Structure 1
């Protein structure tokens, strides 16, 4: 019993195609192998019929009808040749021809296996139920090529595609996958199927004006050739050409020394396989041995550039063309027919024959009662039942590769990744540098050996093809208006934000206790700041506070020692003691402001300072009141004599202090100060400070102290010219002038500073005002006590010891 199959070669060239002729012989070789294999289809002989579709759809349909009918005259719905049942059709090569063929064969349920048709539409089992192929679909190739582009970081690409189903289909899949990976397309140009000089020049001008360095090309070599030729003529170099399987292993483009600009191209190629013994078989082909081969004489004429005598009536051809004599030796030929180092479509054709054979073998191995069709086994004449076994075929090649078809009739998608590299003779060779296997686990689908890749210009590092240079960490991308997402500007992250990845679309804020480093690519802990006892500023302020507090202590000791002298007794000695004690405590308040803020220190800071200073200013006010009353009471008939003494000044001092104490008590009871970590006032710092709790209470305290000082100043100013040789009102006036000036300048300085310097400003104001009060009020008295003791008499203080008075 014999079976027949058809090979529909793809011959898209006007001259004889050695490459396509090799595909044909791979089918013949496979059938001969199977017929000689006792373990595969024993007692069954496979035969074949040949039909050349010439890549023409009507011829392809005609060939299908011819095979289905079994005779030259087409009889639809009838199989006239019953001696050699049709098992399967191998072909066609082109998708455009395979699709109408598949529609017809699907009606009759004849299995059809293509070795080169890659159109995604053929995976639709509803439309093409009997179609299979040994080459992956373009959809997988489009996805894989997009991943290849993404692998090298080419985010800015151009696309050239055929103006047919093949080019449009793969381009659509590529663009969808590329867009999902963040790849942008600057241009998409369609290569004309029918040559157009105007269209070709337009495409080249677009390429020349573009900024992309990587161009993906989904085109057949025959259509692409004029475009590549024009690109070479205009000397456009430096581009990276990314090829689909339709041309990435093309001998037409690579075996041509003028296309040096294609060196460095990279792309997908149909998986290469080895066919043991195939080279020897090809060398055995001879017109005298292969009488049934209708193409062998035409092949011989093309290969050896000769003519058989039957072609020219026994005479030599014109222009001296030699005659073929059959003594020519194939082994001396150097053409693609004998090149078995890169068997791709040839290998697919070989596997297609074996797929049919294994399906028939499974059918032949059916055990009666255990078959898939109502427990009966079928004969080879029932072709639609053969289709069942085709769907479930699964075998290993001699190289150990798995061959099977999925639910769509597609094989496992396995591509070689090839790189076009120069050869010593000036041609270009495509070298395998990796692979793409869609059935591999995620992350292992694309495998590349980058060290073996040679890029344009002989470089070893992959070139760049981007619209905008990547934004480094610390920067973010800002898309340019009206341009693709791949075209952007880099903007530095704002204060308090970082980006720790390349090409970040946004900056991330740091946590409150952290701050960006100088490069703004990582968050680092903020520097903690407070006025410490250990730092130079804190040490200086501590020393100043101690020294200034020693002065009133010393003066107090001096006053106690000279307590019986008139100058000490003058203007309420006890009030002077209290004032000196308060001025001793004022500088020491600074120590509460220095150091890490705590709840206790925050509560005591302003309240202690406010009460002590209120006591000091109240004492000064009491002294001023005492001076005025003493002068007014000395006039005859004055009613103020009863207020002369220590009761009124003491009452003024106590009342002034108690009011301030009351303000502080309300403050602490309503909204007391508390320590806080201020993370927003200064860049990159955490300021440990005291929150005043109530700003209103704080400024009420400061305002009350200012009111006391202003009242004292005004009263002392009015009493500065009272007749007395030692009029204390003049010194109080100066002291209050200094005091008010210090605290008026303190307010803007305090409000304009932050952190430890704000605390230092307040400490400086405390020390300055304390020193001003001390110097203006007590230094003149100390001067008299220590350096002018002759003036420390009652007569002098009353004006009797004044030389000017004696002259009068």
Structure 2
């Protein structure tokens, strides 16, 4: 029997109008607390705790039945009909007992029992106060007469979901009792979980079991279920159901003692409909598997006087409370003389045994959520009766020597007062119903701590506040949580697979739920700075991912600088070539009247040397931080200077050819040989390149540009060419001049002349063309400052090739073999050829 009912019986009976007794739903033998004629009858579910379960035995009138299942709704129908019948005489729908008029019924926690009782009670318009989850209401009539002492189940369901999200448990298992309540949970509640990112490894039902004879069959049937649970990598498992779920869970944890499957500790999440329950033979089973369990419970407080009342219970002095005597025998494993119990424990019950000495797995001394709901239900009924009694104009009085009586047909008026009831109970908590007949209360979140002596303690670690916004519905006190011992007091992880660390993103695994995924490294240029990101994120334009690709780093500004080794090397090389060019130019000026200098047009040699000097110096426009002026000049200056140099070489080559042809007898080409022709070639070619460069500057001029995308780790400060078409047009014209010069020089390489430059020009143009042909693919394949370095190197290499191939042989003759640099030597060499 639920101790709170008897306790409340005595408390309420002290009120002048709330005369009440408690009733045993199985034996229907009322306790003798008769002080009046108003009874608040309690149909309390048998599945409440150990103290209830031990009463599961056949009624003496039903001993002839072979198979009795005390989980069947028929026992609720039977108990309900007996409450409505004459005391100690069961005649359905017949009552002649004027002293046991029923004012209301308290029933729970199983929805099936609530529904069974409501099916009958609706015809009598009796209030039904339920302390379990929302009952199965099939019509409006049942709903009108039902009052829910259990808070709105929606808040519990949302609390479970937010609890999973709070601890990031996205891969879970679900066990439920195969009844209406369980099916409703699976069909209506669980589909919301995947919408919030929670997946299920398994959703399994536990069948509705019969008592006693099917226990070992239950173990056999649940063997495969146990293997499924223990082999699952889901650490968090929701247990939804009433107290028979607890019985089944305890049976499941008995399996490792008989089979070789190790117990893989789980974090059980139990609903508020469930209280800790034991069958008699389970009292010695270890409860260590429930250590760290998280359960929901109806918000409650300890009622003053409850502990004192429990400590004072004595079945010897309360002989008329038969249910208490049965409980006493089962709890203390003793027997009273002339006991109606079938068990004979051998030990005699003295009645002096103390409930506080029992392990909490057998009997909890504290007030549980269910007890608190029943407590509030009785007080709500008492206040409603008081309100109805006070309205003298709406009710007739019938006075006699026993006190005040109410006519049965007037009790339907009690609903009006019950729905509007509002009071503060003894712990100063407000009790009232909303418009749907539901009590305005929330849930506590409890953490179970077990001990070797079969006791356990529940610690409040959070709450569900129905008045808070949905996103703040759940509040947790994590510092007080005790986790299962396997986890060494670290928060358990319940995931399908390990988290994807920063630097990785999730990728779906074909054929598995979305909570199961693989991890893919972030691609180039992207990063992820959180776990389990669906996709990697691109950094801002001025940032780039680090090596771990888990954060963005500010990009440095890059350009070909004088301060770095590459810039220093190219600058040194340019200065060196410039110095050599000046030295060669000085040698040519000093020996300007010698035949080797005069040969092939002395003025063209001077112009070529000046052009090569300027080309070497033009490389300094490419080195250093790009500015608007340098961007405008670098490519155009390079193009014009190189066009002058190549046109000089072309003019030299044409001069050699024309000079040879002019020596032929009767040649008319002699008149073309002279400075006018060479000047025309140089000026015209340079002018064409100048026109191209001018048009480039007018139409699409180069400009400084900060390139943030070409190189992932740097921002390149460069000169944007404005239009690549004009840039390649400049190179193409220069290449055309070089190709023509190469071909003409190649044809003239064997012409008889003592100081013929055609051979040297041919080789120099071969070097020149090779450099610039290789420049194009190299330039296009590099990025950033290295593109500039490639162009600078090409300028230096091609200019150095021209300088070395054309002028080094002449300088060698001038400085090393001056004897060969004479007019007489020229005449001798001509005669030798003839």
What root-mean-square deviation, in Å, do the aligned CA atoms of Structure 1 and Structure 2 show?
3.6
Matching residue of 2:205: 190
Matching residue of 2:226: 204
Matching residue of 1:236: 262
Are residues 1:418 and 2:446 paired?
yes
CA distance in 1, matches of 2:483, 2:252: 23
Matching residue of 2:511: 482
CA distance in 2, matches of 1:75, 1:257: 42
Deviation of 1:490 (Å): 0.7
Moved more, 682-691 or 301-310: 301-310
Contact kept? 1:140, 1:413, Cα under 8 Å: no
Contact kept? 1:86, 1:383, Cα under 8 Å: no
CA distance in 1, matches of 2:515, 2:357: 48
CA change 1:256–1:282 in 2 (3 A) is same
CA distance in 1, matches of 2:678, 2:762: 17
Matching residue of 2:103: 87
Are residues 1:147 and 2:162 paired?
yes
Q: Report SS of the residue matched to 2:254.
A: helix
- The equivalences for 1:322-337 within 5 A come to 328-331=351-354, 334-335=357-358
Are residues 1:180 and 2:195 paired?
yes
Matching residue of 1:355: 380
Contact kept? 1:473, 1:521, Cα under 8 Å: yes
Deviation of 1:366 (Å): 5.3
CA change 1:723–1:393 in 2 (3 A) is same
Q: Report SS of the residue matched to 1:625.
A: helix
Matching residue of 2:53: none
Are residues 1:216 and 2:230 paired?
no
CA change 1:456–1:304 in 2 (3 A) is closer
1:434 to 461, 474, 478: 461
Q: Report SS of the residue matched to 1:128.
A: helix
Are residues 1:162 and 2:177 paired?
yes
CA distance in 2, matches of 1:249, 1:320: 24
Contact kept? 1:192, 1:199, Cα under 8 Å: no
CA change 1:57–1:779 in 2 (3 A) is closer
Q: Report SS of the residue matched to 1:91.
A: strand
1:101 to 99, 117, 121: 117
CA distance in 1, matches of 2:139, 2:257: 40
- The equivalences for 1:41-80 within 5 A come to 47-48=38-39, 50=41, 57-61=73-77, 63-64=79-80
1:409 to 429, 437, 455: 437
* Unmatched 5+ stretches in structure 2: 20-34, 47-69, 395-404
State the aligned residue count. Answer: 764
CA deviations 1:520-561 (Å, max 9, x no partner) are 222223333221222221122122212212333333333334
Matching residue of 1:7: none
Deviation of 1:470 (Å): 0.7
TM-score (norm 1): 0.85
Matching residue of 2:525: 496
Contact kept? 1:622, 1:649, Cα under 8 Å: yes
Contact kept? 2:177, 2:208, Cα under 8 Å: yes
Matching residue of 1:387: 415
- The equivalences for 1:119-134 within 5 A come to 119=134, 121=136, 127-134=142-149
CA change 1:380–1:787 in 2 (3 A) is farther
CA distance in 2, matches of 1:239, 1:318: 36
Deviation of 1:564 (Å): 3.6
CA deviations 1:678-726 (Å, max 9, x no partner) are 3443333333333333333333322222222222222223333333322
Deviation of 1:358 (Å): 2.0
Moved more, 182-191 or 296-305: 296-305
Matching residue of 1:607: 636
Q: Report SS of the residue matched to 2:253.
A: helix
Q: Report SS of the residue matched to 1:161.
A: strand
CA deviations 1:13-67 (Å, max 9, x no partner) are xxxxxxx2414313313313434999xxxxx977426576866534534554565
Are residues 1:447 and 2:447 paired?
no
Are residues 1:265 and 2:287 paired?
no
Matching residue of 1:507: 536
CA change 1:331–1:637 in 2 (3 A) is closer
CA distance in 2, matches of 1:644, 1:92: 124
CA change 1:45–1:655 in 2 (3 A) is same
Moved more, 774-783 or 496-505: 774-783
- The equivalences for 1:670-681 within 5 A come to 670-681=699-710
Deviation of 1:516 (Å): 1.5
* Unmatched 5+ stretches in structure 1: 1-19, 39-43, 370-377
Matching residue of 1:4: none
Are residues 1:459 and 2:488 paired?
yes
Contact kept? 2:506, 2:532, Cα under 8 Å: yes
Contact kept? 1:565, 1:793, Cα under 8 Å: yes
Are residues 1:694 and 2:708 paired?
no
Contact kept? 1:145, 1:267, Cα under 8 Å: no
CA distance in 2, matches of 1:559, 1:49: 130
Q: Report SS of the residue matched to 1:34.
A: coil
CA change 1:456–1:244 in 2 (3 A) is farther
